[in-house]
Structure 1
Amino acid sequence: MQRDRNVERRAILKVAGASLAVAGLGATATACGGDSGSGDGTVTIRYSWWGAEDRAERIKKSIALFEKKYPKIKVKTDFQPYTDFWKKFNTQASGGNPPDVFQNAVGFLRKYDARNVLLDLSAQVEAGNLSMDGFRAGLEKFGEIDGKLLGVPVGSNSMALVIDKHVYTKAGVKPEQGWTWDDYDAAMKKIRDKAGRAGDTGPYNVMYLYDLYLRQNGKAFFTEDGLGFAEADLKAWWAKAEKAVEEGLYADQKKVAQIKPKSAVSGEIAAGEFTWDNFTIRYTSEGKSEYGLAPIPTTDGKKTGQYLGSLMLSASKRTQHPKEVAQFINFMVHEPEVAEIMGYDRGVPATQAQYDAFKPTDPVNKAIAEYEQSLVDAGVLEPITPHPNGADVCEAAFLRIGEEVGLGKRPVDDAVKQFFTESKTALAT
């Protein structure tokens, strides 16, 4: 079973700003990393990722397949929980000895590229060691930054509204593709009045949802080099959320905090909340109701601003074995048997070959696959918003300050100024 990725995500964001400031990451890339190989031509590459034991077991089984196909390449593995992974990675990178290949996310691409850590894999594509063909819904472009291929997607996810289906049915609410924010607001009132529950956990600090809302209105959370919205925009967003809590449309944030790490939806405090679609397995394991995925509300009934996000595999610029690393990445994202082993542990498989190879039979994963296919069929998917150097620090600030607003610890005006102050500092470094 998947572990609670919302909890993992919060953990990494708490340390993102501090841990990524480790000195020395900009050291000149020289030949180090994996070992130099044995006398018989066998080489060893180091592969690191974050996750729990269940992910580790799946990955190790996938590596066994790889080593069978490539007997001259051995893979040494290492994994940690989110927080510990990045602490260790930063120590390794600052010491000039990062892993040859590692799990990565879009918020870190420009940051680590600026520190001369990431290998541009474009040359390996040209050499035929890595294929960027056969990816789903434009995911092949996900790891491209400033003309460089810095990451290769292994899975996909997108923002969704997770709902308690019984509560929505009781309130007579049926969300459909193309419903508007006005429809959503009306639904929150119906749920409160007819089902006696808050309609939503409260999207104060869900940065990626706010990004979609901005994109619907011709803006974006990030541009390539900074923030893509003004203080007045964020003030309106947080003020609306604050009013919704007062009216009982969004959940009491103190109650939400009290039951963490359990979700407010599975804890029967709220009828729904916005999150990544592949996180939804947690609700069935935590709660007693039946849960589903609903579409993102729109401003105009058409544009959701959505894109497919993804975990990625990146390579170290210091690796002595770029060819072997590329072959390993290629195998992990294209080999059908890997998909059969990994399932949806890292999201819906990024390539069509792996997507076709694994057909989930359980209701939760089937719903995730159907939801992402519905986005493709509806034609709402767009390219992801660029993430500048410092994006991870901005996200951490948005999460923390948004929680403070929700808990009544900081007034909206002060919160907005604090967020912009911290973000401008992070984006300027």
Structure 2
Amino acid sequence: MVNGRNVERRTILKAAGATAATLGLAATTGCGGDGGTSADGTVTIRYAWWGAEDRAERINKTIALFEKKYPKIKVKTDFQPYLDFWKKFNTQASGGNPPDVFQNAIGFLRKYDAKNVLLDLSEQVKAGNLRMDGFRAGLEKFGEIDGKLLGVPVGSNSMALVIDKPVYTRAGVKPEQGWTWDDFDAAMKKIRDKTGRAGDSGMYGVMYLYDPYLRQQGKAFFTEDGLGFTEADLTEWWTKAKKGVEEGVYADPKKVAQIKPKSAVAAELAGSEFTWDNFTVRYTSEGKSEYGLAPIPTTDGKKTGQYLGSLMLSASKRTQHPKEVAQFIDFMVHDPEVAKIMGYDRGVPATQAQYDAYKPADPVNKAIAEYEESLVEAGVLEPITPHPEGADICEAAFLRIAEELALGKRSVDDAVKQFFTESKTALGS
């Protein structure tokens, strides 16, 4: 799963240093043309993902292991920053030449299924080329849409509150599982009053926080057919965000924009920030403090509305090598050595075998594992809400319009109306 704001920040952080390497790798490994079969029976498949140099280095190591185990399967690779990846993928898919296997996310499954791009991997499971057992916390169901297996999870993550631990300690705030939004609001004021820092970076554009908030109330950001909330719901959410800025409990959006791509927490503008748990590593690399993970506030003290999100591997319906693609996916999600190489780069490993194989030694990754274990033990995890075709466009609109609102370019009413107008068009409703 991805969060637009944080994906953008993380991508920008890495892109500057990785651009030359990215272009170099793309040029040397190749990304076009159909995968084929050589005279000696060797098959070539194309694999594409988004990310930057550090992910590429890890993935190339895993591919070397795969090719050693399957010497008759060669893998051509291609990677891009997040936004560039989807631009290129759209062009390839429209031209009937998508990669054989590629990194994917929940917001794109229905979109590309409707465009007849994605291979239903169920037949490969039946044929024994792809195993769908041994996954953690129900993740094996994550890529199933309308009875079709369109994606296989490679890792998991969930929303969390990243906190500057010394700041929270000075303010006397100790977040615990089951704390409410009222508790959270009181904590933000304590942090402001006792430390002189905003309590949080702000919640205008965090779509994947707004979704659990809605789910706590029996709603959701998406239903199978469209949006699962009203204009009145969003007006309430964005009005609260605006009020928080005015009261100084949320960081000044203009200052937050000025320090990008650095986070507001690492820049000491805020004491905490909602994001995906596996993004925690960035705060340690950016900031000078000690950071930790805290649970999502609740409406009733029980229901968090959380689920495990995941990046996935999907296959092209046009691939000439479905068996080999399935074997590649199976290797990437089950082989223990892959987990030791990838670590938590794409989230906590999705299968138990890989989860057991990689035991992080550093405090940050240990905290990520402990956080997800705490969610399972607390029994708060639920199935993810299905995302309709057009969800990716809605997500981009939510992020853009929320930023315009935060920077004072739109009123709350105007922002809400604009979001619903664009979403109705994207969703065909």
Taking structure 2 as the reference length, the TM-score comes to: 0.93
Following superposition, the deviation at residue 359 of structure 1 comes to 0.3
1:46 aligned partner: 46
SS of residue paired to 1:79: strand
Q: Separation in 2 of the partners of 1:197 and 1:5?
A: 22
2:244 aligned partner: 244
1:215 aligned partner: 215
Which amino acid in the other structure matches residue 369 of structure 1?
A
Following superposition, the deviation at residue 39 of structure 1 comes to 2.1
2:353 aligned partner: 353
1:388 aligned partner: 388
2:96 aligned partner: 96
Pair 33,330 (structure 1): closer, same or farther in 2 beyond 3 Å:
farther
Q: Separation in 1 of the partners of 2:343 and 2:316?
A: 26
Judge conservation of contact 2:339–2:349 (CA < 8 Å) in 1: yes
Matches within 5 A, 1:13-412: 34-412=34-412
Following superposition, the deviation at residue 371 of structure 1 comes to 0.5
Which amino acid in the other structure matches residue 292 of structure 1?
G
CA RMSD of aligned residues (A): 1.6
Pair 303,376 (structure 1): closer, same or farther in 2 beyond 3 Å:
same
Note the alpha carbon deviations across 1:244-288, whole angstroms, 9 max, x for none. Answer: 111111111111111111100000000001000111111111111
Note the alpha carbon deviations across 1:342-375, whole angstroms, 9 max, x for none. Answer: 1111110000000000000011111111101110
Q: Separation in 1 of the partners of 2:279 and 2:169?
A: 23
SS of residue paired to 2:162: strand
Q: Separation in 2 of the partners of 1:267 and 1:35?
A: 46
Q: Separation in 1 of the partners of 2:10 and 2:63?
A: 29
Corresponding residue pairs, total? 407
SS of residue paired to 1:161: strand
Judge conservation of contact 1:7–1:261 (CA < 8 Å) in 2: no
SS of residue paired to 1:380: coil
Deviates more, 1:41-50 or 1:175-184: 41-50
Which amino acid in the other structure matches residue 391 of structure 1?
A
Q: Separation in 2 of the partners of 1:50 and 1:336?
A: 23
SS of residue paired to 1:76: strand
Judge conservation of contact 1:5–1:279 (CA < 8 Å) in 2: no
SS of residue paired to 1:117: coil
1:421 aligned partner: 421
Following superposition, the deviation at residue 10 of structure 1 comes to 8.4
Q: Separation in 2 of the partners of 1:256 and 1:173?
A: 23
Following superposition, the deviation at residue 404 of structure 1 comes to 1.4
Give the unaligned 5+ runs of structure 1.
Answer: 13-31
Give the unaligned 5+ runs of structure 2.
Answer: 13-31
Q: Separation in 2 of the partners of 1:308 and 1:268?
A: 29
Q: Separation in 2 of the partners of 1:269 and 1:35?
A: 49
Following superposition, the deviation at residue 91 of structure 1 comes to 1.6
Judge conservation of contact 1:151–1:313 (CA < 8 Å) in 2: yes
SS of residue paired to 1:233: helix
Q: Separation in 1 of the partners of 2:33 and 2:353?
A: 31
Following superposition, the deviation at residue 7 of structure 1 comes to 4.6
Judge conservation of contact 1:163–1:291 (CA < 8 Å) in 2: yes
Taking structure 1 as the reference length, the TM-score comes to: 0.93
Which amino acid in the other structure matches residue 227 of structure 2?
L
Judge conservation of contact 1:33–1:318 (CA < 8 Å) in 2: no
Q: Separation in 1 of the partners of 2:9 and 2:385?
A: 19
Judge conservation of contact 1:100–1:315 (CA < 8 Å) in 2: yes
SS of residue paired to 1:314: strand
Judge conservation of contact 1:219–1:229 (CA < 8 Å) in 2: yes
SS of residue paired to 1:85: helix
